Structure 1
Amino acid sequence: MKLAPVFLGSLARRRVATLFSLMAIVLGVALGMAVQAVHEAALSEFGRGLRSLAGQADLQVVGPRGGFDEGLYAQLAARPEVADASPVVEVEVKLAGREDTLTLLGVDVFALARVTPLLLPRADEGGERFAVLADDGIFVSAAVRQAFGLKSGEAIRLQVGATDVTLRVAGDLPAAGDARRLAVMDIAAVQARFGRLGRLTRIDLRLVDGVEPGAVRDVLQGVLPAGVLVEAPEAAEDQAANLSRAYRVNLTMLAAMALLTGGFLVFSAQALSVVRRRTEFAFLRAIGLSRRTLFGWLVAEGAAVGLAGGLVGTALGYGLAWGALVLLGGDLGAGYFSGLTPQLQFQPGVSVAYVALGMLAGVAGAWLPAREAATVSPAQALKAGDEAALLGGRGHPVCGATLLALSVAACGIPPVDGLPLGGYLAVACLLAGAVMLLPAVASGVAWLLPARGPVPARLALARLGAAPGHAVVAAAGVLTSVALAAAMAIMVASFRDSVDQWLNQILPADLYLRAGKASGSGYLDEDLQRRIAATPGVGQVAFTRHESLRLAAGQAPVALIARPVSKDGSELPLAGRVHPGGEGPQVWISEAMQDLYGWQPGQQVDLPLAGRRVAVHVAGVWRDYARQTGAVMIDLGDYRRLTGDRLANDAAIALAPGAGASQVADALTTMAGARALEVARPGEIRAISLRIFDRTFAVTYLLEAVAVAIGLAGVAASFAALAAARRREFGMLRHLGLTRRQIGWMLAQEGALAAGVGVLGGLLTGGAIGLVLIEVVNRQSFHWSMDLHVPWGSLALFGVGLIALAALAAVLAGRQAMRQDAVLAVREDW
């Protein structure tokens, strides 16, 4: 440890370079830790809520959103394997005058006590003895009381589409926790008041002691109608984890790219430190310090920066996670866990892992400079002028080209457990290969540019051609940060443009009406549909029915959309060829259905409709950016003929000639009265959708800005160290007649050239990474395709601005070195 002041003390002497390296590592670790902590907290709370809902149930019988025949309850309760069965009706409702929704469960309180005791309601003090059986009494969780300010005995109005019900707060749910917005009523009251007569949403089953759930599941499944499945209670938790996992992993990969930028900045700082301290290292080697010891201490410098960055980043990550939970409620900006109020929990194992990642980034950045320093002979290093020799040489073009080829091959790797690991590998290979090719790119740029003009310009160009390794040190951080920013800009621009076009295509009507915010539970009955169509100013109305399908155990429900669709599907945002005709009704599937279930256009498949399997023909594939789990679209006429369901959830309204949209909207709202019907114009829906889109990518925009700022700061730090190492060169140039202004111009052009090489490499690499994100990562993660849209103007302006800032940073960094008297600088060579 006697050498600690010599090596670790150097970090304090080069504070600026160390600080920027530390900041990049802190950024990467903090973002990764924050995403992990938020997701784990939300998923833990979500799972706790599901476990309270499931209670002691061994299995759950679940069906489509609209429910299934309640006759199944008596059939299952009579099975010898079943000890107890608890029927449940679930309805999503909202309070009148409020936009927030809550989950209302209709339960049989006597069966509930045996299967799901955590949901047992408790009547308020002084309440009626049989309040739990009253048809107007509702029992709410602490989260509902807090969110809506409800008091015992207070009358509340609940709305579901056209249904408006007035109830009384009769008590609470003491064991339901305070993080889930939940309410409970008697099941008969819910069925009668909310139009669910004869329907159940779920049946919780507690099996006889000694009966294994896995063994009895297949037996029970055989007696259930099509579309009704038997699942383990934890299946919903696994489905939620799978849905949000891709989003979380993609955010974590962005944090990893920021961490990689930090590693390159450590590399730059250590490389320049090695150049400046070559004489010092040579002296230590001459007095007996071994190569291995020198290598170890130099790696320890990088490890110290990484350890500090990991510790600070982990602490900051928890702070960011706390802020995200307060502001976003744990939904990660994407709505996966909306409505929950999870609590942040300290995770020792995960924290240690992220601290280790920070240290690994520091070690990786210091490895190559340490190896270069340990291999230089003391005699060569003690020679005057050797300080300008930088590592990197001409780069490793063969290794770089090999990595680029491997990135192409990695794109063909199929997803592993739903994650695009091949895409992530391709991104890593592209970044590593680009950095290895950077010196070759610098030499090529120097060879292509004409060696004419003023002396400072020719000197700057000659230096770029003679010492391309400088480009690696000065531009490695720029390349990675620019590649990150360009790739995300291309991906986000392509996604946003595709979503915009998709919204324009699926929203062709003049007005849209839906049965309240809780559209899954609200509906428009036939009488209301006729009144909507007869409203003055309404020309044509196309109604839509939303349902869900249970296609496979363990898989999330698939959306079923019934709306008027032409034979060729020309009004849909189609992806690929169509195959109209075939036997049976036509359906149109989303890209997620194609990826998750393997359905193809022209194929005959079975859909569970109205409790039976119906053979349908897949006519084509359409883009659906709203549902990650898959969607099936069928013509409304075919759906009603097959199911007998005459209800609707939404209506697309085309105005009659001369009718005004505002007047028709007011007429529809007046016709609905106090019922929860919402009317919106396509422009309003589009603006809200794009606002949600921008909110989802807010973390991405922030990461881009910070990564670029750190990359630019790394350029400034690199040129500051380079200028200090070249003080003898500046002195000689002054003796040869160059003025300070000319040397300043030379430095400005060197900075511009080095940054230009980094920006060029970063834009090319970012374009390739953007393609990987669009064609591989997003398709395998979310099952969405999109059209390529490159923001040429923004990228060009960004590149030019970055080069100009780098030139200015190089000049400012070299001013300190140019202040030294030219004679004193040259005397160091005598």
Structure 2
Amino acid sequence: MEKIVFLIRLWTWFSLRQLRSQYWRTLAVLLGIALGAAVFTSVRLATNASVDSFTSSMESIAGKADWTVFCPGSRVPEELVAVLNKHPAVLTASPLFTTYVRPHDSGSAPFLLIALDPILDRGLRSWKPGHAENDSSPPWLELLSEPYTLIAGKKLSSRLNLKPKDSISLEFAQRNTVFRVLNILSPEGLALAEGGDIALTDISTFQEFTGLHGVVDRIDIRLKPSACSEDVQSIRATLPPGILMERPGEARESGKLMIRSYQINLSVLSFVSLFVGMFLVFSLVALHATSRRHELAVLCSLGASSRLLFSLFLLEGAFLGAAGWIVAIPLASFMVRRLLSQVSATITHLFVRVQVDQLKLDPLEIALSFAITLLVSLLAASQPALQAMQTLPREALSRHQATGETSRPIKWFTFSGILLILMVWPLSQLPGTRGIPLSGYLATFLLFCGFSLLTPGCLRFLGSRLSTVLRNIGGQPAYLGALYVRDAGTRMAISVGALVTATALFVALVIMIHSFRGTVELWVNQSISGDLFLRPWMAEINRYKNPLPPETVNLLQDLDPAVEIIPYRRIFLTYGGIPYEFEAIDFHKFERHATLLFLKGNPDEIYANLAEIDGILISEVFSNQTGMKVGDHFRAQIAGADLDLPVLAVFRDYRTRGGTVYYSLSRFMDKTGDRTWSGARIYLKNRDQDIESAAISIKEDILRRSGEKAQALEIITGNDLRRVILRIFDETFSITTVLLLISLFVAALGITTTLTVFVLERSRQLHTLLAVGASRNQVRSMIFWEAILMVITGEAVGLCCGFFLSYLLIFVINRQSFGWTFIYSVDWTALCIAIPLILSTALLAALPSSQLVFNRPPSLVLRE
């Protein structure tokens, strides 16, 4: 204990005073660390809040259910409830409906309406009104006895300003019905689903409201404590063909599976800002380790051990990390509230619906943030600390002895960098772990390290080969600046490595986003073609559980022969816990107007095989996530039918809620007897007319002929739908852009800090130049040329690293995380504009250091 106290007292006297005397430089480093830690912490908290919201909602709805009975692609017969309740192993079996409805004529967002049997459901889910007028009567009695009543969740009541005894008109499909609000739910149990943006109603009222008589969405089962695995098999044996039974947690896990990859990728990207900030800590601690070697030698001569010197500088790194993390707390609290809405909206658009009602400060996440920030700072300080250990007592006898840099030869760094780069590709080809591309992330880290290790050789090469050329361009200051860059050693290369990392990430993301957008745009125009798209109202949010009304189907079939109707049946399912969309479509009509982006094979031959062979087409995402390839068999129970179909081809598809399986609509109808439509595409046969105007005219005609049922339809023109898809795509990457800009800003701070270090180290040399007649402009020009060479090296190496990284992102990390790849394409325009801007920004960051040398008179510095 005494040794620790002594170390802290010595560090306070030796290091803390130094940090305080150079407060503005210390603040710059703390700001860089704080930005990195704040970004990492806020992104983690925002994504965790979305995951927690989704998990909490699913668990609240599942309640105490042990099993769930459902029919993939259809609904469960209601009479099965009585059958299950008679089973000796079943404690209770309760039917359940969940669907999103919208308040009529209010323009409000939809909310989740949950329909249950208040009596059967008591043993599964807990809920109670917040303000019961009559405590003696059960809370469910009035809900059961009075039709068209509901109990609103707290968030829903606040959003719509609902109070007990108020009325609210709800719309579902072609129906509008007025409900009376009985009470407001207390925020516990089932009321926590969707953050409280829900309402409860009796199941018979729901069936009257929706017209879904005789069926339910699912039946939740709670078993008796004495039930065993044989009882579960016995229950399964009582189920009709096509009805399945699974754990309620499987739906939750499939949703979390879709979110997890996005969460991890965003966390890794946010860590880059913290990783870049590590270079700032290194620069400052390296400055103190080299500029104070005389003082260290004095300490050694007085009996200080090399371990003590190492501990002093390691403690300095720990202080910078801890202090930077403390500064990050207010920054993170500011950022997380702005990131939360954007992250949750992106997850809702891409994967599953989330309603984040509150932000929890998870102690484990806070501890993780602190631990990683501290670890990164300790790693950054370890090399200068090791350098300080090598200080010899005899150096105290020579006041102006060289700093004693003991860095390895440049060739060693170059060889190590090349070796790490060569290891990247074999490592990246290793399979991911449970959908997490760990090998891809490790390969990315090795790529950053490898190219950063190349920077010492690049700096020496430029300084040696360009010194004469630069003398002809910028005179003697440019020549001296190039020579100093040549002789600066590895410390300059470390800070250039920060710019390499940030630039590489920028280049890679620009290429990836451009490739992604270009491929998605091609996919939208070729595979999502159509002049008019029609589907039930709120079909997407309700996962296409409700088909088009028969009247609408008849109306479409009677439309003008100048249009062609392509109906489809879409069902959301899971395959081995992996979510996907099963879509049955008329391939014969589809191939005349659109085409899929097949990975291999001729489209004409593939469609010909579909006409002859009873098979399916699967998306690249579904193939990568399930391991299914061409020739394998797809086996599933859908809408009561057992399907065993060969895979005929794999195509690119960028739907965000899992993979896609395409099947023939006519064969699907024959096997299942399900002749309903989930929606339809409408194509105009005459392509010489104004397509947009003609599509709008047909839309108005359908709405007019539908009459009151028009409100049950959602009709959008093809151009509008494609614009919406691309807008969602652009919004998805807005967070990535913000994180990238922060990384570049931290890298610019690294350039400033590095140049400041070298200006202070050469204070005697620079003031000697001033004393013998050099002008301030010449000295400033020399420092500026050093900055130019540093930034050009960082950008050039970062550009090369970025192209390698873009390949990893597109063909390794995205494939293992989300299952898709893109057509590789480089946005040369964006790079040609952005690279000079990064150069200008980094050079602007060098201006403060060039002014630092003039803060003290040359005579005073030389006298010291």
User: Matches of residues 448-597 of structure 1 in structure 2 within 5 Å?
Assistant: 448-449=465-466, 451-452=468-469, 453=472, 454-519=475-540, 520-535=544-559, 539-552=563-576, 555-566=577-588, 571-577=595-601, 581=609, 585-597=614-626
User: Matches of residues 134-533 of structure 1 in structure 2 within 5 Å?
Assistant: 134-174=146-186, 175=188, 176-177=190-191, 179-212=195-228, 216-224=231-239, 228-314=243-329, 316-325=331-340, 336=351, 338-379=353-394, 382=398, 384=400, 386-387=402-403, 394=410, 396-449=413-466, 451-452=468-469, 453=472, 454-519=475-540, 520-533=544-557
Per-residue CA distance 1:547-597 (angstroms, 9 max, x = gap):
123443xx1543111222249966112233365638852321122321232
How far, CA to CA, are the matches of 2:481 and 2:333 in structure 1? 46
**Are the counterparts in 2 of residues 561 and 631 from structure 1 also a CA contact under 8 Å?**
yes
Picking from 46, 50, 64, the partner of 1:38 is 46
Query: Deviation of residue 390 (structure 1)?
Result: 8.3
Counterpart in the other structure of 1:611: 640
User: Matches of residues 711-750 of structure 1 in structure 2 within 5 Å?
Assistant: 711-734=747-770, 738-750=774-786
Query: Deviation of residue 514 (structure 1)?
Result: 2.2
3-state secondary structure, aligned to 2:507: helix
Per-residue CA distance 1:147-179 (angstroms, 9 max, x = gap):
333344444333333444444434454453252
Structure 1 stretch displaced more, 641-650 or 217-226: 217-226
Structure 1 stretch displaced more, 276-285 or 736-745: 736-745
In 2 relative to 1, CA 114–301 (structure 1 residues): closer, same or farther, beyond 3 Å?
A: closer
**Are the counterparts in 2 of residues 314 and 351 from structure 1 also a CA contact under 8 Å?**
no
How far, CA to CA, are the matches of 1:280 and 1:32 in structure 2? 37
How far, CA to CA, are the matches of 2:121 and 2:140 in structure 1? 20
User: Matches of residues 627-646 of structure 1 in structure 2 within 5 Å?
Assistant: 627-646=656-675
In 2 relative to 1, CA 390–500 (structure 1 residues): closer, same or farther, beyond 3 Å?
A: farther
How far, CA to CA, are the matches of 2:667 and 2:465 in structure 1? 66
How far, CA to CA, are the matches of 1:755 and 1:131 in structure 2? 70
3-state secondary structure, aligned to 2:162: coil
Query: Deviation of residue 715 (structure 1)?
Result: 0.7
Are 1:622 and 2:651 matched, yes or no? Answer: yes
Query: Deviation of residue 134 (structure 1)?
Result: 4.4
RMSD: 3.1
Per-residue CA distance 1:207-228 (angstroms, 9 max, x = gap):
122114x554444445545654
Counterpart residue identity of residue 581, structure 2: A
Query: Deviation of residue 263 (structure 1)?
Result: 0.9
**Are the counterparts in 1 of residues 432 and 439 from structure 2 also a CA contact under 8 Å?**
yes
**Are the counterparts in 1 of residues 47 and 344 from structure 2 also a CA contact under 8 Å?**
no
Query: Deviation of residue 673 (structure 1)?
Result: 3.8
How far, CA to CA, are the matches of 2:457 and 2:100 in structure 1? 62
3-state secondary structure, aligned to 2:119: helix
**Are the counterparts in 1 of residues 516 and 823 from structure 2 also a CA contact under 8 Å?**
yes
Query: Deviation of residue 300 (structure 1)?
Result: 0.8
**Are the counterparts in 2 of residues 161 and 521 from structure 1 also a CA contact under 8 Å?**
no
**Are the counterparts in 2 of residues 593 and 629 from structure 1 also a CA contact under 8 Å?**
yes
How far, CA to CA, are the matches of 2:705 and 2:408 in structure 1? 76
**Are the counterparts in 2 of residues 487 and 766 from structure 1 also a CA contact under 8 Å?**
yes
How far, CA to CA, are the matches of 1:78 and 1:389 in structure 2? 83
**Are the counterparts in 2 of residues 390 and 469 from structure 1 also a CA contact under 8 Å?**
no
In 2 relative to 1, CA 102–216 (structure 1 residues): closer, same or farther, beyond 3 Å?
A: farther
User: Matches of residues 79-118 of structure 1 in structure 2 within 5 Å?
Assistant: 79-97=87-105, 98=107, 100-118=109-127
Counterpart residue identity of residue 562, structure 1: A
In 2 relative to 1, CA 676–119 (structure 1 residues): closer, same or farther, beyond 3 Å?
A: farther
Query: Deviation of residue 822 (structure 1)?
Result: 5.1
Per-residue CA distance 1:233-255 (angstroms, 9 max, x = gap):
33333333222111111111112
How far, CA to CA, are the matches of 2:438 and 2:141 in structure 1? 59
Count of residue pairs the alignment pairs up: 825
3-state secondary structure, aligned to 2:820: coil
Picking from 703, 721, 725, the partner of 2:739 is 703
In 2 relative to 1, CA 187–474 (structure 1 residues): closer, same or farther, beyond 3 Å?
A: closer
Counterpart in the other structure of 2:822: 786
How far, CA to CA, are the matches of 1:550 and 1:806 in structure 2? 50
Structure 1 stretch displaced more, 292-301 or 143-152: 143-152
Counterpart residue identity of residue 435, structure 1: S
Counterpart in the other structure of 1:61: 69
Query: Deviation of residue 204 (structure 1)?
Result: 0.9
Counterpart in the other structure of 2:676: 647
How far, CA to CA, are the matches of 1:267 and 1:485 in structure 2? 23
Query: Deviation of residue 335 (structure 1)?
Result: 5.5
Counterpart residue identity of residue 114, structure 1: G
- TM-score, scaled to structure 2: 0.88
Are 1:797 and 2:833 matched, yes or no? Answer: yes
User: What are the ranges of 5 or more consecutive residues in structure 2 without an aligned counterpart?
Assistant: 1-7
In 2 relative to 1, CA 462–534 (structure 1 residues): closer, same or farther, beyond 3 Å?
A: same
Structure 1 stretch displaced more, 693-702 or 70-79: 70-79
Counterpart in the other structure of 2:4: none
How far, CA to CA, are the matches of 1:128 and 1:352 in structure 2? 44
**Are the counterparts in 1 of residues 236 and 245 from structure 2 also a CA contact under 8 Å?**
yes
How far, CA to CA, are the matches of 1:409 and 1:288 in structure 2? 50
Counterpart in the other structure of 2:3: none
Percentage of matched positions with identical amino acids? 26
Structure 1 stretch displaced more, 617-626 or 365-374: 617-626
**Are the counterparts in 2 of residues 511 and 654 from structure 1 also a CA contact under 8 Å?**
yes
Counterpart residue identity of residue 430, structure 2: I
How far, CA to CA, are the matches of 1:716 and 1:215 in structure 2? 71
How far, CA to CA, are the matches of 2:277 and 2:185 in structure 1? 50
3-state secondary structure, aligned to 1:118: coil
**Are the counterparts in 1 of residues 351 and 656 from structure 2 also a CA contact under 8 Å?**
no
User: What are the ranges of 5 or more consecutive residues in structure 1 without an aligned counterpart?
Assistant: none
Counterpart in the other structure of 1:759: 795
How far, CA to CA, are the matches of 1:796 and 1:451 in structure 2? 28
Counterpart in the other structure of 2:22: 14
Query: Deviation of residue 541 (structure 1)?
Result: 1.8
**Are the counterparts in 1 of residues 387 and 406 from structure 2 also a CA contact under 8 Å?**
no
In 2 relative to 1, CA 220–549 (structure 1 residues): closer, same or farther, beyond 3 Å?
A: farther
Structure 1 stretch displaced more, 603-612 or 535-544: 535-544
Query: Deviation of residue 649 (structure 1)?
Result: 2.6
Picking from 669, 674, 693, the partner of 2:703 is 669
Per-residue CA distance 1:247-305 (angstroms, 9 max, x = gap):
11111111211111111111122222323223332333333322211111011111100
Counterpart in the other structure of 2:56: 48
3-state secondary structure, aligned to 1:619: strand
How far, CA to CA, are the matches of 2:160 and 2:680 in structure 1? 30
3-state secondary structure, aligned to 2:127: helix
